[in-house]
């Protein structure tokens, strides 16, 4: 899929400008949000993203490329995405709504320290995985990491670091087999690409051999995430994946090659 034509255009919603004049305004007010979603941080050159950014070492609450997602689109308060991603999502949300499909963001940007908290809770057993305390049931570090990796990313490797990726409606694939969930998923499969979104963790098959299991809820804004993925693969090495419990398994698991790169080819 080629979305490069979007990089140099303003993706702002009606009335918003591309000048950044609204940059500091909060996007929380639902009645005002359609005029305040401004796109002003689209990469216009190669080598746009820093190594630190690529591994999630930033604060989305203070980074001007990010904005708070208006609550009407979310299951809870306090979630952030890059501004371009929000603008594209709002268009998709409105189109879906017209067809009776209610999209809801249930998780958005998670930076390195947030992902580290999730990972280490599972690693140390304070958060059970399939009802088990993995620190007691799986002593081998690589095997323990593999189980956590079935659905959680290693800190420094998550697409949720990028401000382009979000989880929609439910974190269970089974939900998307229910009447309501199926309607949502079928709509996304048919229409999300027109708004720039793609499902990176599609069903595993001959085109996607490695990486996370299928996640019908996880959608990515490709005009940006494809650029970020490319830069990630150029700049981040296994030795950069460090600073959390179990980090020593990253190299053995070939984490970048298998997990970061192991996405639906349509989302590259
Ligand atoms: Zn996700």
Distance (angstroms) between ligand 1 centre and the Cα of 38 equals 24
- 118: in domain: yes
Asked whether residue 178 is assigned to any structural domain, the reply reads yes
Dist. CA 165 → ligand 1 center (Å): 7
Residue 61 CB burial class (10 angstroms; 0-12, 13-18, ≥19):
exposed
For position 87, which CATH number holds? 3.30.1380.10
In a domain, 175, yes or no: yes
Ligand 1 centroid – CA 41 distance (Å): 23
> Do the domain assignments include residue 42?
no
Instruction: Please list the pLDDT of the chain residue by residue as tens digits (268 residues).
Output: 444 434 433 343 333 333 333 433 444 343 344 334 444 455 656 678 999 999 999 999 999 999 999 999 999 999 999 999 999 999 999 999 999 999 999 999 999 999 999 999 999 999 999 999 999 999 999 999 999 998 799 999 999 999 999 999 999 999 999 999 999 999 999 999 999 999 999 998 888 888 888 999 999 999 999 999 999 999 999 999 999 999 999 999 999 999 999 999 999 8
Residues 188-238 pLDDT 10s: 999 999 999 999 999 988 888 888 889 999 999 999 999 999 999 999 999
pLDDT at 45: 62
- Contact assessment for residue 161 and residue 75, using Cβ atoms and an 8 Å cutoff: no
Q: How far is the CA of 37 from the centre of ligand 1 (A)?
A: 23
Angstrom distance (rounded) from CA 150 to CA 161:
18
Total count of domains within the chain: 1
**Interval between CA 112 and ligand 1 midpoint (Å):** 14
From residue 13, alpha-carbon distances to 41, 80, 171 in Å are 15, 18, 29
What's the per-residue H, E or C state across the chain? Answer: CCCHHHCCCCCCCCCCCCCCCCCCCCCCCCCCHHHHCCCCCCCCCCCCCCHHHHCCCCCCCCCCCEEECCHHHECCCCCEEEHHHHHHHHHHHHHHHHCCCCCCEEECCCCHHHHHHHHHHHHHCCCCECCECHHHHCCCHHHHHHHHCCCCCCCCCCHHHCCCEEEECCCCHHHHHCHHHHHHHHHHHHHHHHHCEECCCCCCECCECCCCCCCCCEEEEHHHHHHHHHHHHHHCCHHHCCCCCCCCHHHHCCHHHHHHCCCCHHHC
Residue 206 falls inside a structural domain: yes
Ligand 1 centre from 171 Cα, in Å? 8
Q: How many C-beta atoms lie closer than 10 Å to residue 194's C-beta?
A: 10
Ligand 1 centroid–CA 130 distance in Å is 18
**CA 222 / ligand 1 centre spacing (Å):** 14
Residue 107 CA to ligand 1 center (angstroms) comes to 7
Q: Which of 157, 167, 164 is nearest to 74 (CA)?
A: 167
Q: Residue 42 has what pLDDT? A: 56
Which pLDDT score is estimated for 40? Answer: 45
20 alpha carbon to ligand 1 midpoint, in Å? 29
Calculate how far, in angstroms, residue 15's C-alpha sits from the geometric centre of ligand 1. Answer: 31
Residue 44 lies in a domain: no
CA of residue 19 to ligand 1 center, whole Å: 31
Distance 265 CA to ligand 1 centre (A): 17
- For residues 7 and 176, give the distance between their C-alpha atoms in angstroms, rounded to a whole number: 32
Pairing of strands 165-168, 80-82: unpaired
Assigned token pair, 246: 């179990």
Distance 113 CA to ligand 1 centre (A): 16
Query: Does 14 reside within a domain?
Result: no
Alpha carbon of 1 to ligand 1 centroid (Å): 21
Expressed in angstroms and rounded, the spacing between residue 251 Cα and the centre of ligand 1 is 23
CA of residue 68 to ligand 1 center, whole Å: 18
Is residue 161 situated within a structural domain? yes
Q: pLDDT by residue (tens digit) across 33-56?
A: 433 444 445 565 667 899 999 999
**Residue with tokens 């993925």, as numbered in its chain:** 229
Q: How far is CA 216 from CA 38, 172, 174, 206, in A?
A: 28, 8, 9, 18
| pLDDT attached to residue 29 | 41
Q: Which residue in 29, 41, 36 sits closest to 15, CA to CA?
A: 36
Which domain does 159 fall in, by range? 50-267
């Amino acid at each position: 899929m080629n979305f490069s034509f979007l990089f140099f255009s303003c993706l702002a919603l009606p009335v918003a400008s591309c000048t950044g004049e609204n940059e500091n305004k909060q996007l929380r007010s639902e009645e005002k949000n359609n005029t305040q979603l401004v796109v002003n941080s689209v990469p216009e050159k190669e080598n746009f993203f820093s190594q630190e950014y690529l591994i999630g070492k930033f604060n989305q609450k203070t980074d001007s490329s990010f904005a708070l997602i208006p609550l009407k689109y979310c299951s809870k308060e306090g979630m952030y995405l890059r501004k371009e991603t929000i603008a594209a999502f709002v268009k998709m949300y409105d189109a879906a709504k017209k067809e009776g499909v209610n999209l809801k963001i249930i998780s958005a940007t998670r930076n390195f320290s947030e992902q580290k908290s999730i990972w280490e809770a599972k690693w140390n057993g304070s958060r059970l995985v399939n009802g088990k305390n993995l620190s007691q049931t799986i002593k081998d570090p690589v095997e323990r990491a593999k189980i956590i990796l079935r659905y959680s990313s290693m800190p420094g490797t998550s697409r949720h670091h990028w401000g382009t990726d979000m989880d929609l409606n439910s974190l269970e694939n089974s939900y998307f087999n229910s009447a309501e969930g199926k309607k949502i998923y079928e709509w996304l499969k048919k229409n999300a690409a027109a708004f720039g979104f793609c499902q990176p963790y599609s069903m595993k098959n001959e085109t996607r051999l490695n990486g996370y299991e299928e996640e019908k809820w996880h959608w990515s804004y490709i005009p940006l995430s494809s650029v970020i993925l490319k830069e990630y693969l150029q700049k981040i090495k296994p030795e950069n994946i460090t600073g959390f419990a179990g980090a020593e398994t990253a190299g053995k698991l070939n984490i970048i090659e298998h997990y970061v790169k192991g996405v639906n080819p349509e989302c590259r």
